[in-house]
Every structure is written in C-alpha cells, then in structure tokens.
Chain A
Amino acid sequence: MTFDYRQAGLRQDEYRAIQDRIGRTPTEEELRILGVMWSEHCSYKSTRSLLSTFPVRGDHVLQGPGENAGVVDIGDGLGAAFKVESHNHPSAVAPYQGAATGVGGIIRDVLAMGARPVASMDGLCFGDPDSRSVQLLADGIIRGVGGYGNAVGVPTVGGKTIWDESYTGNPLVNAMCVGLVPLDEIVSSKTARPGHIAVLVGSATGRDGIAGAAFASAELSENTSKNRPQVQIGDPFVEKLLIECCLELQRDGLIVSMQDMGAAGIVSSSSEIAAKSGVGIVIDADSVPLREKDMNLWEIALSESQERMLLIIEPPDLEKVAEKARKWDLECAAIGKVTEDGYFRMSAGGETPVNLPADMVGGGSPEIKWPSAKPEATEDSGETLPAHPPLPHNLNDLVLRMTASPRFCDRSWVFKQYDHMVQTNTVVPPGNPVSVLRIRGRDTLLAITMDTHPWYCSLDPAEGGSETLLRALRPQWVAGAEPLGMTDCLNFPSPENPRNFRVLSECVRGLARAASDMDCPVVSGNVSLYNESPRGGILPTPLVGVVGSITDQASLLRSGTTQAGDIVFVVGNDRNGLAASGYMLEAHHRLSGKPPAYDPERERYFRRNAMATATEGAARSGRAVACGGLLMTLVRECVASGTGMHLDAMPSGDLERVLFGEGDAAAVYAVPQHMEKRFCEIWADYPVTRLGSACGERLVMGDFLDLSTGSLVEAWKG
C-alpha cells in the first residue's frame, strides 16, 4: 500500500513542489521527513516574510537570526549568545516534561554556538488562576522548569508569569537561555567541508517525540491524552555532562561545527549544517546508537530524543572526541560524512531511500500566504473607554485587593523553586524589574529582561507589539543598561483565520518598528502558531527577551533600595492611558478602548535621561512604571524597600488615569536629597513631578490612600 503525502501532514501544493524540485516521486521516508521539516514549527512557512521585516543588524550584533542562537558583542572580547523558544503544546499535555525539555532544548541551542549557558528565563502564561486544572498544570510546569534548570546548573534568574482566561487549555511556556562565549570561539554552522565527519554525542536515540514538531503545529484536540507518546523526556544530568564535554572539546579545538538536535533531531541538524555550509551530507542510520529495538530509518531520522548534539569534526580527531565522550560517559558515534554534492542523504541496510537537496529539507517549503482581514469594529475597539464604576474616594481596599491578586502579587513562590544563584554571578535576583549578572574578571554587567503584553496586543496589535518591547527596554534604561539585542517568541492562534493573521502581521509590524527605532535588533526568535484549544484561541502573545550591558557596578541603578529621607519623583506618566491597564483588567474586568500611541521620540528622551540618572548616580532607586500604573509601581517599591512614603503632590490630570494609566515612558525614582538638583537638571526636558518623600512605615498618598507597609507586604505575599 503506498504511503500518501497527506499522512505525512503535507499539503497538496507542497507535494507538487517536492515533485517539481526533485523530478520524481518521493519515497515514503522522504515524505515523512519533509512532512516534519515543512511543518509550521520547523519551517516557519506562514511567517517567513513577516519575520524578514525585523531589523536584524546593529552595532553590537555578531550573529543575527539563522543560527542556533543570536550573538551580541558585550565588550571585552566576549559575546552573549541568546534565544527564546516555545514549548507550548508539549507542556499542555505533559506539563513537567514539556517545560523541562523546553529548558533543555534552548540550553543546547546556546551551547551549539560554543557558549557556556549562564542564565535562563521563562515566560509562563497560564489560564484562569482559580481553576484547579490550571493550578495543577502551572504547578507541573514550574516544577519542570526548576527540576531541569536546577540539575543542569544554569541559574533561572527571572521570567514573566501571567494569567488570563484565554490560556486555559493552552498554556504558554517560552524558555530563554543566555550564554557567554569568547568572540574568537563562536561556533558557526557554515564551516562544514567535504571530508568532515558528523558525530553524534549524548544520549542514545529512541522513539521520543516522533513527529513532535508536527504535533506542535496542530491544534490541541479534546483527546490530548492520546498524544502522550509524542512527548519527550528530559534528563538534565546527561545534559550537564553534554555541556561540559562539548565545551572541553571546543577548548581543545576539536569542533568544526555543532548543532543541537531539537525538533526533527538528526534530519534537521544535519541538513541545516549542510545547507548553511553549501555542502552535502550523508547519514548512516545503522550507525546511530539506539535504545529501542527495530527502529526504522525515518524514526531514527526524526526522533527527538533529548540531550544529543551533532558535531562536525576532522576525521583524525575522531578518537580524541570519542575519548572525551567516554570520560563524560556519553554515547559517541560517527554517523555521517560531509560531501560535495549539496544533497542530504540517509541510508540504512545498504539502501539510500532519502536523497534530497540539502537546502530543500530545511528551507524549501513554499511559503504560505494566508489572507489577512481587518477585524470588524466592535464596541470593544472604540477610542473611548467604556463606562465603569467611578474611582472610590478611599482607595485602601482597592489597592489591597489588587496587590493580593495573581496579576500583582509576589512571585517568590515561583522563583524560590529555581536555583537562581548557581554559577555565583547573580547580582540582582528574580523579583526585580531587571535581572543582572556579573561577569567574573570584568567590570561589565549583563542585564536581562523579559516581557509580554497580550492585552495591549488584543486591543491594538501594532501598539501592543511596540509596547511589548518597550516594557522590556524601559527597565533596562532605568537600571543604566544599554540594550544590545532582543529575541522574540511569537505565540499566536491559527494563522488560517484571516483576522488572526492580520493581528499577527500588525504585532510584528509594531515590534519591528520599535526594534528599529530603539536600536534593539532581533538576533534570534521562534514562532508558535495554532495555539488554540476547543475553548478558543489565545490572546496574541508576542514575548521578548532583551540582553543589555551595564558598564560597571557603579552605573547600576537598583530597584527597591529607597531609603527614608529620599525624595520620590515620577517622570513622564502624562501620556498614558487606561485601556488594557492592569487596573481596568483587575478592578473592572474590562478589556477595551485604545492604548496610548507609540511615541519613539518620547521614548528616546526617556532613555537618554534614565541612563544619565543611572550612570551619574543621581538616584538611589528607580523603577519603570509598568503594570498597575504609578500607584502599583509605588506599592511595589514600598514593599521591596520596606520604606513608607508620604506623597502629597500628584501630577495634574484625571486622578484615575494619573494613578493607573500605563503605556508611557515613565518611572518612579527615589532621589537622595543631595542629588535632587542634579536629578532635576537631567530631567529638565521631560515632565517631572515631585510627589513627596520616603519616610515612616505607611504609604500615604493625598487624602485617598493610607496603608501600612506591613499590610501591603502581607497582601502581596498572600
């Protein structure tokens, strides 16, 4: 019985394209392989032209999108390699392992650049926080992130955790990893040459995740339990051995090129190296160390068994590589050879049923141009904010309720389950707006942020795309960090719905323009589409991770360090708005209106002044205004510093908007009295309000708020 292309998940036009390109009928093995490699998850066929609109070049960019991870120059001869990747569908089905293997996979991507992984961050989006099944899912995912990250010895230094109904049934797990590599040791995938050999190092190959990449591209059906065999199982112990082994091999100069074996394992890693290097490769399935019996060629080709790397080496080095693998107790086998002919071939039992042009396997899928349609105008997309109960005169109860809500409360119950100190580089730990690492032997500090704003994106996708990046940039500037580059994960529902595709395009447009205007190019990223369950699609959720550098420890401005006697200022905050604010969502459960307009000029003023404030030491503590607006930002500062505040001056304007509006380049600063003059000079060209001063043990604002810091801390800790 012949195998049908549809069984491999291919579309008719794709099948035709294959026939046209190779001039014959493809074999079953070829169809299965292309079915996976041309799936959305592997090929980005729905989003390639959108992604090409991202700015990818910059003064500090050493490696843009297209490699295992992007790399930026952080000075002193060091590069930071980083990327974020999604593991959404597996985490819905098997939360612990889905999250764990997500962490493991992105670590290997960074390792493949020759970098030592030094930090992880995780973006987690969960459904209704009151739902028992969501709580169990969240618990499993968080334990999976910690279980893997802690054992593998990479500190999880921060992240972002949000809740929204739309993620019920379709949680999001976006795992980011940052690694450090000396500039002259960055590994490229363009360096394979005919005569080199391909070596597999790591775990034996089994049937894990067979066709998992295709699974990631399909929507979750009612019977997800049937999908269990496709979930991969991670072993962080072996990953740790793999990291040390590969870094030792690299130090010994034995690695010509390296690829992580992620989605579609052997096929994707070997065909990718071949295509990028402009050569061919032939893989012998019989030489792959297996841990299951009777695996056939396409199973071996597509297996997603974890903790495996593909190395390209010079033939005389094979024994040294094998010896190193033996030292670390890892499987090591020569599984293929690099050839001249530009073809990707796979053989088994004396036959070679796979013979495809290498660039066709990874990059040949025809792009799909989904139609795009503007959404109908609904009452939710109007300019004005709909009617809602007015602000009560006394805000004490409201603030305590908001502080205690999942949206605002303490996340230490999450990050205390993560070792955030291993490698002894963590200078500013999780729970702060920016995570900061020191680099041993150097003055430079590394700053990492991660953010997402699906609610802005759902009201105005372009504004939302821009604001998403700005939320990750503003805290960097306040901390005195210069952002060097970003990585993005685009989590969206099905692109086959024209309205969804339009939202996706607009979010990308918003993200791209902000990246360009703010000099923060995209160096790597990931796309996860078809995030829908029977309950419906998720909110549009572009997520970004930004890596920046701080010149030295003296230039770092922390948050949560306000001291009694400091003067409290807010800068900006008058071009904000209430639509999709944490306040409107939490207090009034309304997601409607129009977010404030993107204003790059304004952001640049803010950036310049914020960085000057930090480098000159003109403030004791700084915190960008974010979720919950000015009021919740002040609450967070009081809770973190333990100091109260007496604030009797308010910026002018409608009080509700002043206190809870978001979307502007704004920040709260605590300024020591002797620096007040300098601070005001720095911010002379920007709106500034002197709110009052830090003192005592209460947060008092005007005549509408009077709460002890103790009660705020209690509410925050839950």
Chain B
Amino acid sequence: MRASVVVFPGSNCDRDVMDSLAEVLGITPQPVWHDDETLPEEPGLVVLPGGFSYGDYLRCGAMAARARIMKDVRRHAADGGLVLGICNGFQVLTESRLLPGAILGNRSRRFICSDCTVRVEADDTPFTSCYEKGQVLSMPIAHHEGLFFLPPDQLDELETSGQVVFRYCCPDGSLSDRCNPNGALRHIAGVRNAGGNVLGLMPHPERASESILGSQDGAPMWRSVAKWMNGGVSS
C-alpha cells in the first residue's frame, strides 16, 4: 500500500502521520508539497494532516483548500481514490467542498487538547472496516475550531445517507453534551462523502497508534485502509 501526505505551509502533523503509518504498516509514505501540480504517481491514500496551515488565517483551511495541489487531490477523489483529512485536514476538505459542512470555533472559545472518546457510527467505509459499529475509541483532539456545522435539513440528509462516521461520546458509548468537547452538532466528530472514499475527522488517529502514547485505537484505521487497498473489500 502507498500513502502521500500533503504538506501545507504551517502543517504540523505531517511527520507524525508519516511516522505513524510507517510504524503500523511498515510503509514509507511520501510527503507532497502544497505547491506541486500533481500528486505522485500511485499516491495511494492521500492524507491532509493536522496543524495550522496558513496560520489558520482568514478561516481554518481556507487558503490550503485553494493550494495548487488541491486540483489533483480533487481529481484523485473524483477517480475514487482515498482522501483522509485529520483536524486541519478535515477543515481543508470542508472548505474544498470535498466534504459537506463547515467547522466553526469551539463553543467554549478555547483551544482544547485532551484525550477523547468517539463512537464508530459506520464500519462500512474503507477507513473503518477494522472497527465495529458502536465501538468506542480513545483518540485525542487538539483544536480551537472543531464544531461541525450544517443547517438542520442538510444534517438530517447526512444522517439518513449514513455519512456520519464518528460521534463524540462518553466512555460508555452514550451521547451527551457533557462528552462533546466542542459543541459539534449531533456530536459529529467525523464524516464521509457520498462516495465513501473521502473521510474527515477532528480527532488524531496518528496520536493513538502506539501503546507508548497511551492508545492504539487509531491503528485499525490504517489497517482498514491497507485492507481496502490490497483488495480486501469491505461489506
């Protein structure tokens, strides 16, 4: 399996993602410069990592979404290739309209870095086939803007089409405002596109992929992608 990690000016988690993929899957991901015209040949999984691209200026992910490489990222997604946006990467995907919605500032108006539990809502995506629906994962968050937003009717549509992939939950799996770190509507922590090949989430799987860091619940996401790309089709 192959992976490419896009590096925008201000991305902070690109090396973390590459190291994590290398650690879990034994592959060597390629960094991709934001100003390149095209992705590498056979880019595999394209990851838009976390960080503060363009300093979060104007709107988080707004300028990164208009970077030169994004044209080819769109093409890759349109061709059915896998694209994963983590935290700031999720913001870039919504700004690019590769995913529905917008990410607003946390309700508390404070940055929050913390362990977090999320519930798997869909195990039928290329990214989550190694999880089980309803499974509770420990995956940390670190963001100032993480509040997923869509107008109510579009939210309902998102739900009915099964595009909600992760929700913030309490450790026992129940949903509650108390366990929602940023006020995201319907406690949504991650969504996929209609085609199922683009996923965005606020928590950081690369920060939960080694036992020394406290949780390995992010590792199955990489394994799901590897399975999918090696032909193991998920149901």
A440–B20 Cα gap in the complex (Å)? 11
Contact between A424 and B113, CB atoms less than 8 A apart: no
Q: Confirm or deny: B52 has a beta carbon within 8 angstroms of a beta carbon on chain A.
A: yes
Verify B52–A240 contact, CB threshold 8 A: yes
Task: Provide the residues of chain A in CB contact with B10, threshold 8 Å.
Answer: 151, 237, 240-241
Interface residues of A in 198-257 (CB under 8 A from B): 235-238, 240-241
Known A236-B52, A553-B212; judge A420-B113 contact (CB<8 A): yes
B207 and A421 contact, CB distance less than 8 A: yes
Name B10-35 residues within 8 Å CB distance of A. Answer: 10, 12-13, 15-16, 19-20
Q: Are B55 and A237 neighbours in the complex by a CB distance under 8 Å?
A: yes
Contact A240 B12 (CB under 8 A): yes
Given known contacts A151-B55, A237-B10, A424 and B111 CB-to-CB distance under 8 angstroms: no
Are the C-beta atoms of A419 and B55 separated by less than 8 Å? no
Contacts of B12 in A (CB 8 A): 152-153, 240, 422-423
A320 interface residue (CB < 8 Å to B)? no
A396 at the interface (CB under 8 A from B): no
Which one, A237, A240, A417, A424, contacts B207 given CB within 8 A?
A424
Instruction: State whether A150 and B212 are in contact (beta carbons under 8 Å apart), knowing that A236-B55, A328-B9, A422-B16 are contacts in the complex.
Output: no
Query: A21 to nearest B CB, angstroms?
Result: 45
Interface string of B111-129 (1 = CB under 8 A from A): 1111000000000000000
How many Å lie between the Cα of A57 and that of B52 in the bound state?
A: 40
Contact indicator A422/B111 (Cβ below 8 Å):
no
Q: How far apart are A602's CB and chain B's nearest CB, in angstroms?
A: 34
CA distance in complex: A417, B112 (Å): 5
* Contact (Cβ within 8 A) B16 A424: yes
CA distance A175 to B99 in the complex (A): 40
Interface residues on B, range: 20 to 34
Is A48 part of the contact surface with B, judged by Cβ < 8 Å? no
- The CA-CA distance from A434 to B210 in the complex, in Å, is 21
Most buried by A among B12, B13, B113: B113
Q: Are B9 and A237 in contact (CB under 8 A)?
A: yes
Chain B residue, CB-CB nearest to A329: B9
Q: In whole Å, how far is A630's beta carbon from the nearest beta carbon of chain B?
A: 29
A90 within 8 Å of B (CB atoms): no
User: Which residues of B have CB within 8 Å of A420?
Assistant: 113
Of B15, B142, B206, B213, the contact of A419 (CB 8 Å cutoff): B142
CB of B215 to closest CB in A, whole Å: 11
With A419-B111, A420-B113, A424-B20 already in contact, the answer to whether A237 and B142 are too (CB < 8 A) is: no
17 more A-B contacts (CB under 8 A) besides A150-B142, A151-B55, A237-B57?
A150-B111, A235-B55, A236-B52, A236-B55, A237-B10, A237-B55, A240-B10, A328-B9, A329-B9, A416-B113, A416-B114, A420-B113, A421-B113, A422-B50, A423-B16, A424-B19, A424-B210
B59-79 residues at the A interface, CB under 8 angstroms: none
Q: Complex Cα distance A418/B114, Å?
A: 9
Chain B residues with CB under 8 A of A417: 110-113
User: Is B51 in the interface zone, CB < 8 Å from A?
Assistant: yes
Q: List B contacts of A416 (CB < 8 A).
A: 112-114
Interface assignment of A657: CB less than 8 Å from any CB of chain B: no
Q: Judge whether B167 is part of the interface by a CB distance below 8 angstroms.
A: no
Contact surface of A with B, Cβ cutoff 8 Å: 146-147, 150-153, 235-238, 240-241, 328-329, 415-424, 426-427, 438, 440, 553
A150 → B minimal CB distance (Å): 6
A240→B12 CA distance, assembly (Å): 8
A365 to chain B, nearest CB (A): 39
Q: For residue B22, which residue of chain A has the nearest CB?
A: A440
A237 contact set on B, CB distance < 8 A: 9-10, 52, 54-55, 57
Chain B: CB-nearest residue to A420: B113
Given that A240-B10, A417-B110 are contacting pairs, would A151 and B19 also be in contact in the complex, using a CB cutoff of 8 Å?
no
> Does B192 sit within 8 A of A, measured CB to CB?
no
- What separation, in Å, do the CA atoms of A90 and B57 have in the docked complex? 25
Q: B51: which of A153, A415, A418, A440 is its contact (CB, 8 Å)?
A: A153
- In the complex, 16 of the A-B residue pairs with CB atoms within 8 angstroms, ordered by the A residue number, are A147-B111, A150-B52, A151-B55, A153-B13, A235-B55, A237-B9, A241-B10, A417-B110, A418-B113, A419-B142, A421-B140, A423-B15, A423-B16, A424-B16, A424-B19, A427-B213
Among residues of A, the one whose C-beta sits closest to the C-beta of B53 is: A237
B223 at the interface (CB under 8 A from A): no
B187 in the interface, Cβ–Cβ < 8 Å? no
Chain B hits for A418, CB < 8 A = 111, 113
Name the residue among A147, A238, A240 with the largest chain B CB count within 10 angstroms: A240
* Distance in angstroms between the alpha carbons of A417 and B142 in the assembled complex: 9
Q: Which 5 A-B pairs have the closest CB atoms?
A: A237-B55, A153-B12, A151-B52, A419-B142, A424-B16
B83 to chain A, nearest CB (A): 22
Chain A residue numbers with a CB within 8 Å of B50 are 422
**Residue from A147, A422, A553 in contact with B13 in the complex, judged by beta carbons closer than 8 Å:** A422
Q: Scoring B residues 160 to 192 as 1 if CB is less than 8 Å from chain A, else 0, what string do you get? A: 000000000000000000000000000000000
List of A residues within 8 angstroms of B217 by Cβ = none
Structural contact, B52 and A424, CB atoms closer than 8 A: no
Report how far A438 CA is from B23 CA in the complex, Å.
14
Interfacial chain A residues near B206, Cβ < 8 Å: 424
Bound-complex Cα distance A178 to B114 (A): 22
Contact B142–A422 (Cβ < 8 Å) = yes
Q: Which residues of chain B are within 8 angstroms of A240 by Cβ–Cβ distance? A: 9-10, 12, 52
Cα–Cα, bound, A147→B52 (Å)? 11
Q: Which residues of B contact A236 (CB under 8 A)?
A: 52, 55
Q: How far is the CA of A236 from the CA of B50 in the complex (A)?
A: 16
Cα A152 to Cα B13 with chains together (Å): 11
Residue of chain A at shortest CB distance from B112: A416
Asked if B212 contacts A427 (CB within 8 A), the reply is: yes
Q: In the complex, what residue of chain A is closest to B113 when comparing beta carbons?
A: A419
Distance in Å: Cβ of A332 to nearest Cβ of chain B:
16
**In the complex, which residue of chain A has the Cβ closest to the Cβ of B54?**
A237
Contacts of A419 in B (CB 8 A): 111, 113, 142
Return chain B residues, CB-CB under 8 Å to A235. Answer: 55
Instruction: Mark each residue of chain B from 130 to 160: 1 if its CB lies under 8 Å from any CB of chain A, else 0.
Output: 0000000000101010000000000000000
Cα separation A238 to B55 with both chains bound (whole Å): 8
Q: Which residues of A lie under 8 Å from residue B110 when comparing CB positions? A: 417
- In the bound complex, how far is the Cα of B12 from the Cα of A329, in angstroms? 17
